[in-house]
Structure 1
Amino acid sequence: MAGWLSTLKKELTGETGEAAHAPQQAWSPQVFEDIEWRRFEALCETLFGQAGVRTESQSHGADGGVDIWLYSAHSPKPMIVQCKHWRRKPVGVQQLREFFGVLKANDLQYGTFATSSTFTDDALVFAKANGINAQDRSGLLRLIGTRTAEQQQALLAVAYEGEYWKPTCVNCGVKMAERKPKEGGTPFWGCVNYGKTRCRFKLYMASDR
């Protein structure tokens, strides 16, 4: 067993006392199911960085529709990447139109839209017509498959780093905690900074994304 995986097994207990889903030892669609959105973005950044480009990103807060900036010595302009970590809901043409607007706002002709889910047919048509490289779950797995065995293991380590199953607050950049409404109802993930900053960001556990 890889050293990083042995270390990871010591970190598999969350605040609820329940063990997280055991990490995969090889690449498969299950990896995307296991991890939360921030790990997915970190994975994409590392994957594109392995191609020899310099990357920049931010962990939380408003990003202007750009999750990752890619800089190549062979191009005067950067390329931008937007990531959508959705598990079941396909990315539609509306999301691609919004990303196209981000491209135009940054005076760029090309960009990549990466998702752990799939794209609708009309979204793929729009992407092809407007210089958008649409990478869905299958496309990302194919791209990962072109990497060396060592690089693929490095990508797994990034995906399963830390409490990979716990969502990260998009406002504060900290791991969220499981909350159960006192009056009953659907459990949700709440920001741990609620008492300090009154951050009200929450994610319901039963989600189509």
Structure 2
Amino acid sequence: MRRSERNPAIEIVRIALGLVWLPFAWAAAAPAAAVRRYRASVARPGQAAERARFDTKKWTAELLKHLEWRRFEELCAAYYEALGFRAQLTRSRADGGVDIGLSAQDSDGTATIVHCKAWDAYRVGVSPLEALRRAMTASKVRRGVLITAGRFTREAVTFAAQENIQLIDGAGLLGKLAELAPEKSLALLQFTTQGDFLTPTCPHCSIKMISRKSTQAGRKFWGCVNYPRCKHTATV
């Protein structure tokens, strides 16, 4: 079943974009429930050295590449909110990701569906684009966008051109963030780098995962804190 939601993180950013002239006013003005959920993503103990690797005062390719997948999704949705769109999130994908439905502020109909792929070592191929195309067909939407912090394969570029899908890679996203008004770009940057933006979120439980080590090979991996009820893992 498809589940639509208004992401509290986006609500916070929307307020931030309207109040950027008042330092920290967005945190005070945001709905209490949204702030509680947002602040729950605090940096985990011992993460200071990890965070210090990144210059959180400006957008960089390195920062985008290391954003955990859920925060990357929230950034992409908030970016379109900054452009003046309404971003409706529908959490229906098998990988835990969302369909981000974009519409004009004065319209209830979805005009574009956006999917996001956080960076990994491999270029994004055709498979995620096929999933986006299916979502477009199911929603009767003619335009799609796929955003990644990495890059796309040649086959993906060819497929996207045939299916009316816009591709935005890491360099392209950096360029679009730079084109925003400085205060909007800063508001998005401050939101994106608040709390724990590095530890992956369990797609099934929507909570931060923890570092574990296999008993046999000693291999490190991310595991859900709800194990054994949830056995989802991710590579480090």
Q: TM-score, normalised by structure 2?
A: 0.74
Any residues of structure 2 matched to 1:116-131 within 5 Å, and which?
Answer: 116-131=149-164
Residue 232 of structure 2 is matched in structure 1 by 201
Pairwise CA RMSD of aligned residues? 2.6
Q: Give me the whole-angstrom Cα distance separating, in 2, the residues matched to 1:42 and 1:76.
A: 21
Is the contact between residue 15 and residue 177 of structure 1 (CA under 8 Å) also seen in structure 2? no
1:161 to 191, 194, 213: 194
The answer as to 2:76 corresponding to 1:44 is yes
Q: Give me the whole-angstrom Cα distance separating, in 2, the residues matched to 1:167 and 1:66.
A: 15
The answer as to 2:71 corresponding to 1:33 is no
> Tell me, what secondary structure is at the counterpart of 1:20?
helix
Using a 3 Å threshold, how does the CA distance of structure 1 residues 164 and 66 change in structure 2: closer, same or farther?
Answer: closer
Is the contact between residue 168 and residue 175 of structure 1 (CA under 8 Å) also seen in structure 2? yes
Q: Percent identity?
A: 34
Letter in 2 for 1:53: F
2:225 to 161, 180, 192: 192
Which runs of 5 or more structure 1 residues have no equivalent in the other structure? none
Which runs of 5 or more structure 2 residues have no equivalent in the other structure? 1-22, 25-38
> Tell me, what secondary structure is at the counterpart of 2:71?
helix
Q: Give me the whole-angstrom Cα distance separating, in 2, the residues matched to 1:144 and 1:190.
A: 32
Using a 3 Å threshold, how does the CA distance of structure 1 residues 188 and 41 change in structure 2: closer, same or farther?
Answer: same
Using a 3 Å threshold, how does the CA distance of structure 1 residues 65 and 106 change in structure 2: closer, same or farther?
Answer: farther
Residue 20 of structure 1 is matched in structure 2 by 50
Q: Give me the whole-angstrom Cα distance separating, in 2, the residues matched to 1:204 and 1:64.
A: 16
Q: Which structure is richer in relative contact order (CA contacts within 8 A, separation 6 or more)?
A: 1
Is the contact between residue 64 and residue 102 of structure 1 (CA under 8 Å) also seen in structure 2? no
Q: TM-score, normalised by structure 1?
A: 0.83
Letter in 2 for 1:200: K
The answer as to 2:212 corresponding to 1:182 is no
Q: Flag the structure with higher helix content.
A: 2
Q: Give me the whole-angstrom Cα distance separating, in 2, the residues matched to 1:100 and 1:59.
A: 16
Residue 133 of structure 2 is matched in structure 1 by 100
Larger mean Cα displacement after TM superposition, 80-89 or 20-29 = 20-29
Q: Give me the whole-angstrom Cα distance separating, in 2, the residues matched to 1:68 and 1:186.
A: 35
Residue 206 of structure 2 is matched in structure 1 by 173
Is the contact between residue 60 and residue 173 of structure 1 (CA under 8 Å) also seen in structure 2? no
Larger mean Cα displacement after TM superposition, 97-106 or 134-143 = 97-106
Q: Give me the whole-angstrom Cα distance separating, in 1, the residues matched to 2:232 and 2:125.
A: 24
Is the contact between residue 92 and residue 98 of structure 2 (CA under 8 Å) also seen in structure 1? no
Is the contact between residue 160 and residue 167 of structure 2 (CA under 8 Å) also seen in structure 1? yes
Paired positions, count: 195
Q: Give me the whole-angstrom Cα distance separating, in 2, the residues matched to 1:155 and 1:194.
A: 33
Deviation at 1:187, TM superposition (A): 0.5
Using a 3 Å threshold, how does the CA distance of structure 1 residues 114 and 17 change in structure 2: closer, same or farther?
Answer: closer
> Tell me, what secondary structure is at the counterpart of 1:203?
strand
Q: Give me the whole-angstrom Cα distance separating, in 1, the residues matched to 2:66 and 2:213.
A: 22
Using a 3 Å threshold, how does the CA distance of structure 1 residues 138 and 54 change in structure 2: closer, same or farther?
Answer: same
Residue 69 of structure 1 is matched in structure 2 by 101
Q: Give me the whole-angstrom Cα distance separating, in 2, the residues matched to 1:136 and 1:126.
A: 15
